[in-house]
Chains A and B, each alone.
Chain A
Amino acid sequence: MRSSGIKTFFAAWLCLTAVVFTNNCTTTGSGKYYGRTTAPAEDHLRYVSGSEPQSLDPAVPTGQPEARVIMALFDGLVEYHPKSMEAMPAIAESWEASEDGTEYIFHLRKNATFSNGVPITAKDFDYSFKRALAPELAAENAYLAYYIKYAQPYNSGSVFVKRPDGSFIHQYEVDPDEKAPEQSAAPDTFGGDTPKHRQLDEPLRLTLPGGEKERAELLEKDPKLKALVDGKEFVQVTADDVGYEVIDDHTFRVKLLQPAPYFIGLLAHQYFRVVHKDTVEKYGEQWTRPENIVTSGAFRLAAHRPYDELNLVKDPTYWDAANVHLERLDIYPLEDQTTMQNLYKAGSVDATYNHTVPAGWIDNIKQYKDEYLNLPEAAIQYYAIHIRKKPMDDIKVRRAFALAIDREALARFRKTLVPLADFTPEGIFPRYEEARTKVYSEFLKRDGITPEEWEKRIFDPERARKLLEEAGYPVEQRGGVWVCPTFPVEGVNVVYNTSESNKSVAEFLQAQWKQNLGITVPLNNMEWQTFLPTTKALDYSGFARRGWVADYMDPFTFLALFYSEKNDSSTGWHDRRYDKLLDDANRQHDAVRRYEMLAEAEYLMMREQVVIPLATNATNWIKKPYVKGLYPNAGTVHAWKFVYIERDPAKWDKDVENIMEQTDQKVDEQIARLMQTQVDRENASKAATLAAAK
């Protein structure tokens, strides 16, 4: 009996001493691979995906852990490319966009079915998309569909205004900036002429709040509008008004509010996946239980033990089942980094999600080159500055704090980060970065900034101290250290939500500021639910740690953070010129020109230094060498049908420098085959345009 207590003691003692003397617990076996490495006999992947999914209903949850599960269970019109995350054909074999970029026609494949064998048609997409917008569902992701015509008014419960003659009042009639659109004589025939199409092509109708009180308040403020709508009928915006149209069983039309070049990429999001109407309506909120669920993806849900595991098995009725390699996919909802690393080492899991290797372990694990995956993500870290409070209302002070941070040292210290001095992530949008370099060089000339000075924006303590002095807070050297006695440090704080990495970054920055400016900024960590309202309500002073993850692969997803007066940036900054630049950019059809305009906006915002960009995140996760077709893409969302288990050790990756540039015949062929239908469509339309030109 007492030996158990002694055993406990002994074990602890044993480990402690062993650790001290050998100084390395982690290399075992041959040392070639990390921990136990034996490929499973079956095509079976065990994956750690973060927290327990909030829901398996594609329309409901917002997080990445859910996205990864839903991507296995449900298919959409398009799917993420496993490497680049661009949209590639899924249930939509191909698609085409109208000339003005506001309309898309999707051609659906005919052999897609739900897991119960029922064919998937355009009607199912129509239902799924409209359901996801329904106010009764109260989906947090609904805003993702707001680019679609009348989606926002429907989701918000707004009303149209109808004249007695049956026509509607249009937006251009009340908006002084908008001109009446030219009425073309011939109706737009793109995708066929239908009554619904005509309704969608009609100029944008005016929408007003559905709630009487809210509406009355709005009209009270705007007498002109009030006069215009007085005595008119208010008609509720319904699901039928939204810009979705079923042209036939296999043709689906989407009408956008304005051109959105990133729209196709956005459609791969889990929010736009197709669900089975009868099942959803029959079981209500319980429809995602394993016994009720009907899925549309490559896998079906065999069992779900919350907080323990989800068992997914290949769906033989899936339209592309012949090319789904895994027979079984087990997803473990785990969040503790040490625990999942232990499971990985013991050979109990095959891969983990992003940011899962603890900072202290990285030096040790990164030697297993083919297992450790660390590439830039479409996600950034930055400190927002509350620019309305003293002393941070002074741009010189803001710049001083930004320049006093050695981002290279920060990146070296955290080991996984890429230093960042702009707001859009480094190395994610190469074409945008090209356009930006061009735009910036013009602006720098205009503003009289030398390229050297611009280069040094990543770290320039000299200039930082000079700026502080200009702002009235001289920094002096006393006894070998910098001090800034006049700086009102009580009005400045760093708030961040609790996490190991946020803490050590905050401590690092605190030390940098102390060293380079002589200012010790107090740190204040909070649990997430306290932190969010504090930063949102601008209830902090100084700096707030923020991060942002792309919704889709376009820089706009980052720049939109500062769009409009009530923006998400938590800085209190807003500029009409910025909004206009973004609007104009999105109306621009030429991709390069559009990027240039976005870059102009980014320059405008960054010159104000309303944020201190710190770093582009990196993926930082591990997979066993026998897991193939699983790539460290910028969003850590995986199209599971490309993943396979390679049992032949000879074919495992060996000393791969960059896995993204590595060819894998099996995966590459699979991708090419899927892309073919869309490539054909594009070639055909190009040929048609050429023929027409002739």
Chain B
Amino acid sequence: MSNNETLKGTSLWKDAWKRLLKNKLAVFGLVVIVLMVIAVTIGPAIIRMTTGYTADYVPTDIGEGELVASFPPSMAHPMGTDELGRDMLARVLQGGRISLMVGIISTLVSLIVGVSWGAIAGYMGGRVDNIMMRIVDIIYAIPYILVVIVLLSVFGGPNTPEWIQWLSSKFGGAGNQGLNQIFLLFFALGLVSWLTMARVVRGQILSLKNQEFVLAAKATGVSTPAIIFRHLVPNALGPVIVYATLTVPSVMLTEAFLSFLGIGVQAPYASWGSLASDGIQNIAVFPWQLIFPGVTMALTLFSLNFLGDGLRDALDPQTRKF
């Protein structure tokens, strides 16, 4: 089995990278995601400079009320406008910042915490496994909406810790108190996103830990952490990567749901999820309000999964032989 990785040493990642580049879909995914990240990072600034629109910009001759309405896509507004006459392109890009942040942070938490937790539990077995997995069960059963509500009431509003305020001021410009809440939300989502990952990894490790290569490593005196993280985890990487790519959409949707309940992102900001949930209501009247955020989000998730599949294949040298 693949216990010869250690021999390959540093060239493992290089090889994987080479293999990844050979996978057309994965490259496509990678390119889209890189472009998306660039777009949401600098896009809003470019739009502001060229057209003057921002995510929260309501047309100025508001007194007449004529521009404060939903307009279909046009040269001025490539994605149309929302009901307040705000440029959908600017909103989609700004929403992408929040959605991508939510997705990335929660997925990182789920990768770091979930994989280690599951791997340790699975490998150690016995009492340790039992206690660790029961903790997962308990956290899983606590209603996260209540956790979010409490988190926001204890740390939200005027009680927001300074470093969160600092972060949101860096992120959205001065006076963006509304963004504080989204940072608190990252914690809440991170708190729950690793649980299923831990279970998935543990299941994999359980089936791997009695295989010969592990026994061999044990016999040659490899330390326990090394066995777990150098031998077992890389072999469970397939489902882990797939599951991680599945985590991204699910946390994005959880965020949309929390926004819907009033404990998510603060107006006038939006996320892809909340844009789509606003848009679906008017699908019959102003379809562009759903289509553009929806398609952008779907495209990103698609790309992410192609990349995930490609990574999975690339990191696993055995694949090509099969």
Interface of A with B (CB < 8 Å)?
16, 19-20, 23-26, 337-338, 358-361, 363-364, 406, 408-409, 412-413, 459, 481, 489-490, 493, 497-498, 500, 503-504, 506-508, 510-512, 514-515, 520, 522-530, 534
Contact = CB atoms under 8 A, between A and B. Distances in A.
Interface in B156-192: 157, 175-178
A412 B63 CA distance: 10
B266 A508 contact: no
A523 B267 contact: yes
B58 A489 contact: no
A525 B264 CA distance: 9
B246 interface: no
A498 B286 CA distance: 23
Nearest to A533: B153
Interface string B263-303: 10011100000000010111111110001000000000000
B33 interface: no
A534 B149 CA distance: 14
B101 interface: no
Contacts of A338: 280-281
Nearest to A531: B262
Contacts of A360: 70, 83, 281-282, 285-286
Contact of A512 (B62, B262, B281): B62
B263 A409 contact: no
Contacts of A529: 149
A583 to B, nearest CB: 38
Contacts of B58: 507-508, 511, 514-515
B282 A523 contact: no
A25 B283 contact: yes
Interface string B229-264: 000000000000000000000000000000011110
A515 B60 contact: yes
A515 B287 CA distance: 29
A512 B261 CA distance: 26
Contact of B287 (A19, A508, A534): A19
Interface in B49-72: 56, 58, 60, 62-65, 68-70
A25 B60 CA distance: 32
Interface string B215-231: 00000000000000000
A525 B58 CA distance: 19
Nearest to A506: B267
A249 to B, nearest CB: 53
Interface residues of B, number: 37
Contacts of A413: 65, 68-69, 83-84
Interface string B142-156: 000000010011000
Contacts of A490: 175
A512 B282 CA distance: 24
Nearest to A337: B281
Contact of B268 (A19, A412, A510): A510
B62 A527 contact: no
Contacts of B68: 409, 413, 508
Nearest to B176: A522
Overall SS of chain B's interface: loop
B91 to A, nearest CB: 12
Contacts of B287: 16, 19-20, 23
Given A507-B268, A511-B62, A25 B284 contact: yes
B206 to A, nearest CB: 30
Contact of A504 (B62, B83, B262): B83
Contacts of A525: 262, 266-267
Contacts of B263: 498, 526-527
Given A406-B63, A409-B63, A498-B261, A507 B84 contact: yes
Contacts of B281: 337-338, 358, 360, 500
A149 to B, nearest CB: 42
Nearest to B66: A412
Closest 4 CB pairs of A and B: A498-B262, A511-B58, A25-B284, A360-B282
A26 B285 CA distance: 8
A369 to B, nearest CB: 19
Nearest to A525: B262
Contacts of A408: 65
B284 A359 contact: no
Nearest to A410: B65
19 contacts: A16-B287, A24-B284, A24-B285, A25-B284, A360-B70, A409-B64, A413-B83, A490-B175, A500-B281, A504-B84, A507-B268, A508-B68, A510-B56, A511-B84, A522-B175, A522-B177, A523-B267, A527-B262, A527-B263
A493 B286 contact: no
A523 B268 contact: yes
A525 to B, nearest CB: 5
B123 to A, nearest CB: 37
B145 to A, nearest CB: 9
Interface of B: 56, 58, 60, 62-65, 68-70, 83-84, 149, 152-153, 157, 175-178, 260-263, 266-268, 278, 280-287, 291
A186 B84 CA distance: 70
Given A16-B287, A360-B83, A507-B58, A412 B65 contact: yes
A16 B177 contact: no
A522 B178 CA distance: 7
Nearest to A364: B285
Contacts of B70: 360
Nearest to A16: B291
A524 to B, nearest CB: 6
A534 B157 CA distance: 10
A498 B259 CA distance: 9
A672 B6 CA distance: 96
Contacts of B176: 522
B84 A493 contact: no
Contacts of A522: 175-178
Given A16-B287, A24-B284, A515-B60, A507 B65 contact: no
A523 B266 contact: yes
Given A503-B267, A504-B84, A525-B267, A19 B178 contact: no
B283 A19 contact: yes
B56 to A, nearest CB: 8
Interface centre among B84, B178, B284, by most chain A C-beta atoms within 10 angstroms, is B284
Contacts of B60: 481, 515
Given A25-B283, A530-B149, A409 B267 contact: no
A564 to B, nearest CB: 28
Contacts of B64: 409
Given A20-B291, A520-B175, A508 B84 contact: yes
B62 A358 contact: no
Contacts of A524: 157, 177-178, 266
Nearest to A499: B262
Contacts of B266: 523-525
B175 A530 contact: no
A19 B72 CA distance: 13
A528 to B, nearest CB: 8
A360 to B, nearest CB: 4
Contacts of B63: 406, 409, 459
Contacts of B285: 24, 26, 360-361, 363-364
Nearest to B179: A522
A125 to B, nearest CB: 42
Given A19-B283, A24-B284, A511-B56, 4 more contacts: A24-B285, A338-B280, A361-B285, A406-B63
Nearest to B145: A527
A23 B152 CA distance: 41
Contacts of A500: 278, 281
A528 B262 CA distance: 9
A512 B61 CA distance: 10
Contacts of B178: 522-524
Contacts of A24: 284-285
A511 B63 CA distance: 11
Nearest to B291: A16
B175 A507 contact: no
Contacts of B152: 530
